[in-house]
Amino acid sequence: MKWHRLARREFLVALGFLAPSLAGFSVFYLIPFGQSILNSFQDGIGGSFTLSNYKELLLSSSFQKAASNTFWFTAISVPILVAVSLMLALLLNQRVFFRNWLRTAYVLPLVVPVASIVLVWQILFDWNGALNAVMEHFGYSRQDWMKSDWAGFVIVLVYVWKNIGYNVILFMAGLQNIPGQYYEIADLEGAGPVRKLFKITLTYLTPTTFLVVLMSVLNSFKVFRETYLVAGAYPHDRIYMMQHYMNNMFLSLDIQKVSSAAVLMALSIMVLVFVLFRTERVFRSYME
């Protein structure tokens, strides 16, 4: 009985500490999202229940283009980011020259404001920017990078540069948690570098890798800020993302469409996160 009173007291104390955060989360996220769900099933503000909003949304060419671009951007940029981050983490985990300086350099994009980042990329990829000046100097014609098919490549590059530091930190933390005696035993058994990489390093990095993939996927949906500042509200078709579509619907006060798009996007993210967690659980049980 005494143990139950103690557990109840600790629960109330924890709830008291969490109350401000829960209240803020409910006011600014949970309640507005619940209202968006209601709006997505209404025929106008306060209207009757209907599924026509989702039907019109799925048949919209703008929505299809935005959804396709968002899918392909995530499918291409996330594997590139994870692979490059892992390679850099493996490199920085060794005794290389200027290792501490390199670690600081990869963290810098995390603390630089988005506006400053965009300004640098605008200077680099503008029609009169640095990259075109270099190309013209070597006899190549200028490219309108953000108004051509190259725009997708530019956004992937910006995304990787912006998020690579965070992933490198996570991978390095995972690498430092691998016991050193595993590699010593592998050396005694005559295992080569490739075998140690796949049998020890990548195996024990599995939980960290799933976390990095999850965070990379979530961050890929935040690339709208950079894209919007670089290319505006109506960018090239290759980089017209879901956030562009929802932003334009919001500016036109089409609340039903923007609510429906937000609900579908949230459901897609939830399904993707569930699949990742399920895959991690299956893989971890297989390892055990």
Distance from chain centroid for Cα 185: 37
**Third-level CATH fold of 64-287:** MetI-like fold (1.10.3720)
Neighbours of 162 (CB within 10 A): 21
Query: Helix (H, G, I), strand (E, B), or coil: what is residue 42?
Result: strand
Burial class, 50, CB count within 10 angstroms (exposed 0-12 / middle 13-18 / buried 19+): middle
Look up residue 166 and give its two tokens. Answer: 């965070």
Q: How far apart are CA 197 and CA 180, in angstroms?
A: 13
The predicted pLDDT at position 51 comes to 83
Nearest to 160 by CA among 262, 91, 87, 104: 87
The predicted pLDDT at position 79 comes to 93
Q: How far apart are CA 121 and CA 115, in angstroms?
A: 10
State which H helix or E strand residue 58 sits in.
helix 52-59
Domain coordinates in residue numbering, the chain: 64-287
The predicted pLDDT at position 147 comes to 80
Q: Is the pTM of this model over 0.75?
A: yes
The predicted pLDDT at position 82 comes to 93
DSSP state of 28: I
The predicted pLDDT at position 203 comes to 82
The predicted pLDDT at position 84 comes to 92
pLDDT tens digits in sequence order for the chain, 288 residues long: 566 777 788 888 888 888 888 888 888 888 888 888 888 888 766 667 788 888 888 888 888 998 999 999 999 999 999 999 998 888 888 766 666 666 666 677 777 777 777 777 778 887 777 888 888 888 888 887 878 888 888 888 888 888 888 898 889 888 888 888 888 788 887 778 888 888 888 888 888 898 899 889 988 888 877 787 777 777 888 888 888 888 888 888 788 888 888 889 889 888 988 888 888 788 777 665
